[in-house]
Amino acid sequence: MTSSPRSSQNISAAQIRDDYERRVDEAARQAREEEEQAQDEDYQEEVAEPEPEPESPEQEARKRKREQAIEKLKNSKEFSRRKKNRRLGDENDDELADEMLKEKNQPVPGQLAHCEICGKRFTVTAYSKTGPLGGLLCPDCSKKHTGKDKKDEPKKRGMGINRRQNQSKILDGVVQLGARSLMEMCIKKIAENIDDVEGFGDLPPPVMRRLSQILSRNRAITPVILDLFLKPYARHLDIFDCAKLETKDFHKILATMQSLTRLDLRFVTQMKDDVFEYMIDREMKIQELHLDAPSLVTSACWQKVFASLGPHLKSLKLWNLEAGFDDETFEAVSKNCANLQRLKLKHLGHIGDQTMEAISTLKHLEHLSLHLSQELSPEPLLQIIAQLGSQLGSLSLEEFESADDRLVQHIHDHCRELFKLRISHNALITDKAMAGLFRGWSNPALRFVDFSSLRDVDMDNHAGPEEPVGLASNGFVALMAHSGRDITTLNVSSCRHITHAALEEVFAPDKQYPHLISLDVSLNERIDDFITHSIFRCCPALKKLVVFGCFKIRDIKIPRGVAVIGTVGAKLTSDGVAQQELVLS
């Protein structure tokens, strides 16, 4: 119908022949052109030799360019500098210019070049060295070549660290022999690089705690860093600086860590009622609640919290609370949390005698620490000691200015299991009572003792009354006779009525305090070189001796591994090497 087999007959034979001839012609011409081009290139390569006959305009242009470049080089600062260095005359200018031009035309990094010495082909890098003749060297030859003119290596730092760091460590009371543990070094390093850490994995809880301490000290705990600490199965969480965390972060803590038994958060200013309400809704069984400054939480909410935690609560520590926590709130604690074993209340401004009375009803209390600045009557405290004294393991009472000899007498009569005792900042307790406490006391030796600032305060009578007030000679001798064999930490700073004779007696050549590690005898003007050396002799385990305001220390030899803090204008010798003073006069 339309396309018939005959249609092929429309193609003319003439057209086919023409096409063929055209194609052959074209191919031939192309081949010819290529050949010519190749010849041209060969020719050009030949004429590129050092002394070319400038024939083509292209060649001339190239030469002109080169001359311009040389002229430019000759005017450059680099040129005059090199010339000056080599002290060349003007006749050598061209030579130098040539050399510099050659250097300039050297292959750039990434290109291939042939080594000037061994002729090997290599890839040029930024580190390729220039050989003696101005060419480049391969890596192997570079190494050999640079061996000669290598600069002196920077001075290697010896095994001593700088003085400032050292002093700062001594002020922290750390004079360590030998290296730090690998664990401690790595934890420090992790803390330094905390922003690069994606997750802690299965770090053991003590490591997590230590990391939290370091990071908190650096104030580095942000909501992002907090995430690293949130592990669903962990039972404890200690964050020592929550200042950068917000309400939603506290929610996140409680939502993620369901099996939490210890919640230890400091500076939690942004914690509000709804965080606790969430905790109550989830019925979390927190056993240890340690919070610093949750001052936005209302009294009503606290009461609900204690009602909810009830008998689970074993340890309660609260710091820095004002209006939100009052006597009524504490009543909720004493009513609901009968199993409380550990109680610490510091700087709670709105609690008073009523709370003190309530504390004495906590039947299982073993550790009590109170630091309340407000005026409190001494009787409730006596009641606490009378009720709970027999089971108390540690007792810390700071700034109870109204407490008197009766308190010490009660401790003597009731306490049987104390290992830590702190009574500080008081000017009523007499030395006689202190001595009486330790004489014939059926309590085993104390390990931690802090009687700092137990002294008479009277600006007009420096020596104090006839009958000594505070921890004075008799009390100190009695204390060391009772507890000397086990004591590890002793703070008698500012107990300035301890006489030289008493110190001599306590640190006599035949006395030994084998476990005493930390001793603070600051602000006692009777401490002199002799007493200090006696202390070193009697306390073989001593690591830290604090002597602020002991001006009679003039020239002492410090044993290895002991940090002495607070001397003024004294000559210190350690291991036969004179030491620089920490506090310069």
Partner 1 sequence: MDSSKDSTFVSLVSCDGFEYILPYETACVSGTIRRMLDPTSNFAESRSGRCVLEEIDGVVLEQVCKYLVYNYRAKNMTNVPDMDVPAELCLELVMAADYLDV
Which pairs count as long-range contacts for 166-174, CB under 8 Å and 24+ apart, including other chains?
A: 167/580, 167/582, 169/563, 170/563, 170/564, 170/565, 170/582, 171/565, 171/582, 172/563, 173/518, 173/543, 173/544, 173/546, 173/563, 173/565, 174/563
Which pairs count as long-range contacts for 374-377, CB under 8 Å and 24+ apart, including other chains?
A: 374/349, 375/401, 375/402, 376/352, 376/400, 376/402, 377/353, 377/402
CB of 181 to partner 1, least distance (A): 6
Name which of 150 and 163 has its Cβ closer to partner 1. Answer: 163
> Residue 515 in 3-state DSSP?
coil
CB of 126 to partner 1, least distance (A): 26
Among 161, 171, 224, 457, binds partner 1 (CB under 8 A): 161
Among 22, 24, 172, 200, binds partner 1 (CB under 8 A): 200
190 belongs to the binding site for partner 1 (CB under 8 A)? yes
The token duo for 173 is 């009371």
Can you tell me the distance from the alpha carbon of 164 to that of 162, in angstroms, rounded to the nearest whole number? Answer: 6
**Contact set for partner 1, span 301-320 (CB under 8 A):** none
Among 4, 9, 85, 193, binds partner 1 (CB under 8 A): 193
CB of 153 to partner 1, least distance (A): 17
Query: Residues 471, 495: contact at Cβ < 8 Å?
Result: yes
CB of 559 to partner 1, least distance (A): 12
CB of 501 to partner 1, least distance (A): 35
38 belongs to the binding site for partner 1 (CB under 8 A)? no
CB of 561 to partner 1, least distance (A): 8
Name which of 223 and 561 has its Cβ closer to partner 1. Answer: 561
Binding span for partner 1 by CB under 8 A among 58-66, 190-198, 291-299, 432-440: 190-198
Binding span for partner 1 by CB under 8 A among 203-211, 392-400, 452-460, 491-499: 203-211
DSSP 6: G
> Residue 520 in 3-state DSSP?
strand
Over 313-351, what HEC string results? CCEEEEEEECCCCCHHHHHHHHHHCCCCCEEEEEEECCC
Which of 365, 481, 357, 345 lies closest to 415, judged by CA? 365
DSSP 312: G
Can you tell me the distance from the alpha carbon of 118 to that of 141, in angstroms, rounded to the nearest whole number? Answer: 8
CB of 189 to partner 1, least distance (A): 5
196 belongs to the binding site for partner 1 (CB under 8 A)? yes
445 belongs to the binding site for partner 1 (CB under 8 A)? no
437 belongs to the binding site for partner 1 (CB under 8 A)? no
Measured CA angle at 583 (ends 582, 585), to 5 deg: 135
Do strands 420-424 and 448-450 pair parallel, antiparallel, or not at all (unpaired)?
parallel
201 belongs to the binding site for partner 1 (CB under 8 A)? yes
Among 16, 197, 255, 501, binds partner 1 (CB under 8 A): 197
Name which of 20 and 200 has its Cβ closer to partner 1. Answer: 200
> Residue 410 in 3-state DSSP?
helix
Which parts of 323-430 fold into alpha helices (H)? 327-336, 353-359, 378-388, 405-414
207 belongs to the binding site for partner 1 (CB under 8 A)? yes
Among 69, 203, 214, 338, binds partner 1 (CB under 8 A): 203
459 belongs to the binding site for partner 1 (CB under 8 A)? no
Cβ count within 10 A of residue 73: 19
Can you tell me the distance from the alpha carbon of 301 to that of 325, in angstroms, rounded to the nearest whole number? Answer: 10
428 belongs to the binding site for partner 1 (CB under 8 A)? no
Q: What are phi and psi of 4, to 5 degrees?
A: -105, 155
Can you tell me the distance from the alpha carbon of 62 to that of 170, in angstroms, rounded to the nearest whole number? Answer: 74
Which amino acid belongs to residue 505? Answer: E
154 belongs to the binding site for partner 1 (CB under 8 A)? no
Name which of 136 and 175 has its Cβ closer to partner 1. Answer: 175
Can you tell me the distance from the alpha carbon of 475 to that of 286, in angstroms, rounded to the nearest whole number? Answer: 42
CB of 210 to partner 1, least distance (A): 10
Which amino acid belongs to residue 568? Answer: V
Instruction: Count the site residues for partner 1 by CB under 8 A.
Output: 33
112 belongs to the binding site for partner 1 (CB under 8 A)? no
Name which of 74 and 188 has its Cβ closer to partner 1. Answer: 188
560 belongs to the binding site for partner 1 (CB under 8 A)? yes
> Residue 454 in 3-state DSSP?
strand
561 belongs to the binding site for partner 1 (CB under 8 A)? yes
> Residue 528 in 3-state DSSP?
strand
Q: Rounded to 10 degrees, what is the CA torsion of 253, 257, 259, 264?
A: -40
**Contact set for partner 1, span 170-189 (CB under 8 A):** 175-183, 185-189
Which of 449, 448, 457, 510 lies closest to 475, judged by CA? 449
CB of 158 to partner 1, least distance (A): 9
Name which of 159 and 459 has its Cβ closer to partner 1. Answer: 159
Can you tell me the distance from the alpha carbon of 135 to that of 154, in angstroms, rounded to the nearest whole number? Answer: 29
205 belongs to the binding site for partner 1 (CB under 8 A)? no
583 belongs to the binding site for partner 1 (CB under 8 A)? no
Among 53, 202, 375, 510, binds partner 1 (CB under 8 A): 202
Binding span for partner 1 by CB under 8 A among 148-156, 169-177, 307-315, 341-349: 169-177
Work out the angle between the directed axes of helices 93-104 and 57-75 (0-180°, nearest 10): 110
Name which of 197 and 541 has its Cβ closer to partner 1. Answer: 197
CB of 207 to partner 1, least distance (A): 6
159 belongs to the binding site for partner 1 (CB under 8 A)? yes
Binding span for partner 1 by CB under 8 A among 155-163, 354-362, 375-383, 551-559: 155-163
* HSE-up of residue 206 (Cα within 13 Å, Cβ side): 2
DSSP 519: E
Q: Rounded to 10 degrees, what is the CA torsion of 137, 141, 143, 146?
A: -70
Contact code string over 6-35 relative to partner 1, x by CB under 8 A: ------------------------------
168 belongs to the binding site for partner 1 (CB under 8 A)? no
CB of 287 to partner 1, least distance (A): 26
| Residues near partner 1, by CB under 8 A | 157, 159-161, 166, 175-183, 185-190, 192-193, 196-197, 200-204, 207, 560-561, 575
